[in-house]
Structure 1
Amino acid sequence: MESAVPHLSRRQILSLLPATALLAMAAPMRAAAAAPADHARLLANTVATFAGTAEVNARPEVAGKLAAMLDTARQRLAAMDQAGDGELFAGLTLGTDDAKLRSAYQYLYEIALATRAPGGELDGDAAVQRRVVDGLQWLHEHHFGDQSKGYYGNWHSWEIGIPTHVSRTLVLLDERIRELRPDLTATYIASMDAYLRNGKDGDVDLDSRFHTGANLADITGNRILQGALTADDARVSKAISDQATVFATIDPYDLQHGVTDGYYHDGSFIQHHSVAYTGSYGRALLTRVVQTLKTLEGATGGGGSDLAGVVYRWIADGFAPLIFEGWMMEIVKGRAVSRTNTGYSDVRVITEAIADLAGHVEGDGSQALKQYVKFLPEADTGTFVSPVSIARYAAIRADSAIPAADLNPPERSVAFNSMDRTVHRRPGYAFALARSSDRISKYEYMNGENLMPWFQGDGAYYLYLSGEDQREVFGVDYYTAVSPYRLAGITAPEEERRTVPESYGRFWYENPDHPLNFTSSSESQNTYVYFPLAGNAFSGGATLGAYGVAGMVQSDDAAYTAKQQGILPDDFVVYRNARATKSWFMFDDEIVVLAADVSGQGRRAAVTTVDSRIAAPGDTIVLTGEGWRGGSWRAGDTSPPRWLRYANDTRRTAIGYAFLTRQPVAAGLETVTRSRRVVRASNPDTSVTKNVFTASIAHPAAGGVPAVAYALVPNATEARLRGYADGPLTVLANDRHVQAIRHRALGIVAANVFAGGPRHAERLLVDGPASVIVRSGERTVVALSDPTMKRDHVTVVLRGRPLRLDTADEGVTVRRVPGGTQVRATTRRAHGRTFTATLR
């Protein structure tokens, strides 16, 4: 479903602020003249958001949440009772561990929350509230007030994590604090300002690399509350203005404050400057801005429907394509893929935000969000943050006048080229692809999370099948059980790599004496350790209706390249990558994969993994296949298979692999047992046992098998796989210059042209680099894009009888040339966008 809400540039956002009632006081230059906020209403909204109201809390659907609040508070109070010397809570030894200090503040917040929940047993309990206030005072005196002793560990704890719990606790207990310790709020705000070390003069700095995206929304959300507590209109106004910048669609050709973090025109979301992150930081940003809309409702004189409409676009174009049957796809979670929370729990957070947002969006958008809430699997509302959200969600689900409806059409192909991701959806399956480039990181590792990420951006793909419990086939257990060198879709060199802790004895590389000043949160650490860019420019693709093509040239990462240039220290560990030119062609019943110019580099062999899938040890797995000359193919067979089929009979799912080139394929099952700690140091030491299916193609160091082609066939039967012997797919080209496929039944020719200059693909003459899809029928439709994002124009000539222009996107011209028809798209500053023309 396409949104009718326009994208807004950062400049347009700023121009909206004075006219939008919600943000009437937002623009800094108008702060003095802006009408003051209703601070009491703002604080009351915040209390209602997190603690509920008498009306909401009386609803039966909210009873479980209230019980959980009470139970948590009682546990925290018991821990206070059992605390030893130097502790506020038993088991939390403070003074050197920022995570424990953050937990102490979280525990105080959880107790305070229960004392403000109407209808709860601790509601208004003055004695308990006094204990919280005393705890705040004690923590400040002993562990937070002295900035010379604080700020150890992770910067996030001091600038975001702790201030979030403190600010909300101060709001919840505002009256009690004024009664008992009237200076405490101002004292804490002064300290929180002092800890904002990545800001400027104790405030947000929009030029800081730390104050972007979800981080910026968190910091400014806290500062709005702090301003309301102290009736500081200037603080509230500036915080709203700063947070408003996250609503702007990022224009990569007109960056504001150098910020690349945020939402892009194609629905992509980036955090940490180059990491595809919709499913983690994007989710957090969504939650925070929706909470801000709820907090400010009625407190600044308006409802904020303009900005709510922008957030609706995030949902429709950014989140919905990435959610499959209630599961958030792995390709947009960064290091969070190694955490034990699941794609289902990710979506529950998003569902809560959508239910709330539906009350702020006007017109058809509100109805569409409500329908989507009903379409998504029923959520466990016990995980929702707000009792109000639970009530709203329950009302939507119970409303028979709201039909369930997906925000996605049944067939959809989405090129998230701004973050090097591709999603292809059909009834029965979804295909998700992770790419990388000199714009987007190969992977993200940080703080002992995602310990073996090396190939996650090298064309790793995930094929989700309908009806599956995705926890059994993907999530943390997929990365735990499957070798990092055998992720589905990747081409990796034959070698063993060491994790960052294994290489350096800590979670990062430390060398402050080097000119690049390697510290835990330095820019050099980000660039070369945490999320290094790739070296290739070609990574992108085109879509034509619900069909798509993507391509990528596999390269080394920035660290390896810098080490060869003598930029990095001698003891800095780097690894050389394999080489490959790859394309993915996405149709209705199959996804065709081409790999050419494959080499392990440095006299190493390489392996291309066709697929890796996990299953429970008790599941019945059946592997079947057929050779090129007929006859059955069995695991261990060294002859090239024409097709293979992996079937989980227990789960009633199957995937077929139709090989379009002849080469040996190693395929079989292996029982693997590993601890979840192999992928994340802080995971529980839980042992996971899975049956792992792997099908792979070897590329010997001595040469041979430089190019392969195969089709992934979701939900395939053996009969359908046999049909590919005379089926619709023809490989037209597969080398380092051109990769092209013809799908006879669909009338589609699609190509990636990697080299410059005119290149042939059947009846097409393409001026590369480019991605092209042409579909012939009553009309001929052409789709073009520039996957390098560096070209001014992309051109294709359709050879044959001349065709006339019917319709075309702006920037597309069509003219007759000798021997055919030329279609030319102006791709300058298009950032990988697809241009289409219809001819007759």
Structure 2
Amino acid sequence: MSGSTDNRSTPVPEVQAAIGRVDALAQEHLATLETSDRRAYLWRDLPFEGNENRQSLDTRRSFARIEAIARAYATAGSEFEREPEVRAQLLSGLDWLYENRYNESLEQAGNWYNWQIGTPLQLTSAVLLLYDDVDEARRDAYMTAVNKFCPQPDHTGANRIWTSRVVAQRAALVDDDRMLTAARDGIAPALTFVDAGDGFYRDGSFIQHEQHPYTGGYGLAVVASTAWFVHLLDGSPWQLQRSDLSELLDWIDIGFEPWLYRGSFLSPVRGRYIARQDSQDHAAGRSATQALVHLAFSVDSHRSVPLKGLARHLLEEEQFTDVYNTRDIGTIIYAKALTDDPDTVPRAPSQVTRVFPAMDRVVHRRPNFTFAIAMSSSRIATYESANTENLKGWHTGSGATYLYNSDLAHYDDHYWPTIDPTSIPGTTVPVGDRPNAFGAGYLSDKEWAGGATFASLAAIGMDFRTFTDGPDESALTGKKSWFLLGDEIVALGTDINGSSGERVQTVVENRKVINRNAQTLTVDGSALHGWPTDETLRESSWLHLAGPTSDSGIGYVFPDPTEIHVRQESRTGAWSDINNSPPHRDATEHRRDFVTLWIDHGTDPVQKTYSYILLPGATTDTTASYARQPAVDVLANTNYVQAVRREDVLAANFWRNGAPTVGGITCHGPASVLRVRDRDQMSLIVADPTQSYEGRLRINLNESASHVISSDPRITVHRLAPGITLSVDLTRSQGSSYVVTFESA
């Protein structure tokens, strides 16, 4: 998608910087390239030793280095442009790899991805860059190997796009019209909504590997690769029709855009990618921005205007990393065209509160912060660890909460290798380390994960069972609720039980701090000094942690005075602690400071509870004032129902049938419910987070209405007065929220 412009006549500094990056990488690989006639490898650190997985990875990485050198060779303005010696080394390297590591006489061994996607993508890209210098016999030989291991589009989700891309690049190189058609048609299943398995869903979710949320990983790859496809085939008989992209573009609106925040791509939808040093949140955000830039120029005008506006906003908003930090010159040219276009108006992502039922995720976007919840269930696994990656992601999907604000460095700057992985905010878990990859891919037997949303409000719940390598009955279980009420977040826990002999904690916070001297932790009005600190605070009502910016402080209010444990410490970690995959392993140690707050439930807890309120953006004074007169009342925190009320909003999770009436609402079955009053109107919102309810759920309200203003077709109102009686058909509702609005009597 880059490289045809004569960059020597282009005065754009960002283009020249990109050429410099292309040259630097090529120089690095050329300097270490083995050229001996008796060589057993091309690079000493890729010796094709070890198990078959490692050998297949070394093959892929060797081709990737060849491709990087070929890019420099083909780039106008590069110091290696059309250099005969470089051409000779490239052809020799390709020949050696074909003869020894990747040809049609070999059988696939090791990681299938390296054979079917990784290696052929790099090989075909390198040959495309070298097209005029690779004779027909070489091209045919190389592409015969590619055709053996990836003969047609295959697999699902992002893997489907990638195999289609391999087939398209091979077909272009050998003038195979039939396979170009197959490649174009092959991506269709990855560009349409799915109802199960891998791919993107109508509710905005994206799943890969059957049970893992991956919007910011494989989902991002779908967006980027689709943009590449459009450019490759545009103007040809095989070009994609704009209608082919309609569902993908719809998904970008509802499922991709909400996870972008001030240049970052939020961690809870990036799977094992969070354990990669080169793919921290802002690096992923930069990749997303670059993909959207390309896609914005690939669609019809009706869809391109909002997409260009979003892309321009992302380009101009990023303050943490350089969005032009890429070796792809085409990306820079498109990006500059966007930012220089007076007709393209920047458009920020919408402020939404959204549940993604198909992947057990929630995002709550506010003007000054974004809050996300990562849950798991019988449908969605706790976390993914594969290929020795994400080794300590144990609790990252166990009701974990993620708070993004103007502290842009928080989830970047080596957050994941330095945080205590046993203490992830929002989780209720056994205390202590676990073995690497412990519980990866675990599906509990609990169905409840999700909730009801309305505007900037939500009632979210999770029924949980933690993974144990002992008897199932010893697993830690409990129920968690989060009531998202604009700028207030209420967290309740109940029915917490365990019998494994381990202590259990609920982690309120584990925040990386940039300046320990300035980011003061205040407890009930008194600053907590000293570092390190390990204290137990008796009967605390509120705490406040100052942020590195004026609006990034966080208040913590406890409706019932609570014993809070506080630890302020410096932690040291390396990326190799959480990722042993050779491309990502880095043993460099990093030291960062953290403030951790938790509630200790003791060993083998029985029917324990907790409650706290988060106030993102609060100051010390506003937190103290709120604690004196909380705006939220906790109405119930039992294993039957958890509920809160704030002014004209009531939010509740009814865990099972037989729950008592709360706030005038009686719910005859499991459901998340919101009641919202606005002047003379009252709305009731209902969802089935279990996604398993069959039939009609009956609800009674102890208030009357004059008439129904609007109603979802699934809701039937049986009586308006005295008292409202209604029922909701939740059969196959897939976690959706249903709304009925009344005119008050």
Query: What is the TM-score normalised by the length of structure 1?
Result: 0.81
Match of 2:292 among 345, 354, 357: 354
Amino acid paired to 1:585? F
Q: Could you tell me which runs of 5 or more consecutive residues in structure 2 were left unpaired when the two chains were aligned.
A: none
Amino acid paired to 1:366? S
Q: 1:128 to 1:440 in 2, by over 3 A?
A: same
Structure 1 position 361, deviation (Å)? 2.3
1:606 matched to which residue of 2?
Answer: 504
1:386 matched to which residue of 2?
Answer: 328
1:139 matched to which residue of 2?
Answer: 97
Q: Secondary structure at the match of 1:234?
A: helix
Contact 2:641 2:659 in 1 (8 A): no
Match of 2:435 among 487, 494, 498: 498
Q: Distance in 1 between matches of 2:640 and 2:659?
A: 11
Residue 68 (1) aligns with residue 68 (2): no
Structure 1 position 539, deviation (Å)? 0.5
1:308-457 aligned at under 5 Å gives the runs 308-341=245-278, 342-376=280-314, 377-378=317-318, 380-384=322-326, 386-409=328-351, 412-457=352-397
Amino acid paired to 1:68? R
Structure 1 position 649, deviation (Å)? 5.6
Structure 1 position 748, deviation (Å)? 0.5
Q: Distance in 2 between matches of 1:302 and 1:676?
A: 42
Contact 1:455 1:490 in 2 (8 A): yes
1:761 matched to which residue of 2?
Answer: 662
Contact 1:759 1:767 in 2 (8 A): no
Contact 1:620 1:650 in 2 (8 A): no
Residue 597 (1) aligns with residue 495 (2): yes
Contact 1:451 1:499 in 2 (8 A): yes
Q: How many residues align?
A: 722
Question: 1:539-583: per-residue Cα shift (whole Å, max 9, x none)?
Answer: 1111111211210001144x75xx759xxxxxxxxx964211000
Query: What is the TM-score normalised by the length of structure 2?
Result: 0.91
1:93 matched to which residue of 2?
Answer: 47
Residue 657 (1) aligns with residue 614 (2): no
Structure 1 position 125, deviation (Å)? 4.2
1:688-837 aligned at under 5 Å gives the runs 688-701=590-603, 703=605, 706-721=608-623, 722-744=625-647, 747-757=648-658, 759-777=660-678, 778-792=680-694, 793-816=696-719, 819-837=722-740
Question: 1:9-59: per-residue Cα shift (whole Å, max 9, x none)?
Answer: xxxxxxxxxxxxxxxxxxxxxxxxxxxxxxxxxxxxxxxx13233389735
Amino acid paired to 1:454? W
Q: Distance in 2 between matches of 1:334 and 1:230?
A: 37
Contact 1:739 1:751 in 2 (8 A): yes
1:4 matched to which residue of 2?
Answer: none
Higher RCO (C-alpha under 8 Å, 6+ residues apart): 1
2:456 matched to which residue of 1?
Answer: 546
Q: Distance in 1 between matches of 2:89 and 2:140?
A: 19
Q: 1:82 to 1:383 in 2, by over 3 A?
A: farther
Structure 1 position 790, deviation (Å)? 1.0
Q: 1:703 to 1:224 in 2, by over 3 A?
A: closer
1:115 matched to which residue of 2?
Answer: 73
Please provide the CA RMSD for this pair: 2.6
Amino acid paired to 1:548? A
Structure 1 position 358, deviation (Å)? 1.2
Contact 2:296 2:311 in 1 (8 A): no
Q: Distance in 1 between matches of 2:476 and 2:493?
A: 12
Q: Secondary structure at the match of 1:671?
A: strand
Q: Could you tell me which runs of 5 or more consecutive residues in structure 1 were left unpaired when the two chains were aligned.
A: 1-48, 197-201, 206-210, 253-259, 504-528, 566-574
4+ residue stretches of structure 1 with deviation over 6 A?
631-635
Contact 1:555 1:577 in 2 (8 A): yes
Q: 1:476 to 1:72 in 2, by over 3 A?
A: closer
Residue 161 (1) aligns with residue 132 (2): no
Q: Distance in 2 between matches of 1:399 and 1:716?
A: 38
Amino acid paired to 1:219? T
Q: Distance in 2 between matches of 1:393 and 1:106?
A: 26
Structure 1 position 401, deviation (Å)? 3.1
Q: 1:729 to 1:51 in 2, by over 3 A?
A: same
Match of 1:678 among 577, 583, 595: 577
1:229-244 aligned at under 5 Å gives the runs 229-244=173-188
Q: Distance in 2 between matches of 1:194 and 1:113?
A: 25
Amino acid paired to 1:284? A
1:625 matched to which residue of 2?
Answer: 523
Q: Distance in 2 between matches of 1:465 and 1:119?
A: 41
Q: Distance in 1 between matches of 2:302 and 2:698?
A: 39
Q: Distance in 2 between matches of 1:218 and 1:611?
A: 39
1:295 matched to which residue of 2?
Answer: 232
Q: Distance in 2 between matches of 1:637 and 1:273?
A: 43
Q: Distance in 2 between matches of 1:115 and 1:676?
A: 33
Q: Distance in 1 between matches of 2:35 and 2:474?
A: 54
1:510 matched to which residue of 2?
Answer: none
Residue 286 (1) aligns with residue 185 (2): no
Q: Distance in 1 between matches of 2:413 and 2:653?
A: 33
Residue 194 (1) aligns with residue 194 (2): no
Q: Secondary structure at the match of 1:50?
A: coil
Q: Distance in 1 between matches of 2:380 and 2:292?
A: 28
Contact 2:521 2:527 in 1 (8 A): no
1:52 matched to which residue of 2?
Answer: 4
Amino acid paired to 1:62? V
Q: Secondary structure at the match of 1:640?
A: strand
Q: Distance in 2 between matches of 1:266 and 1:462?
A: 21
2:426 matched to which residue of 1?
Answer: 489
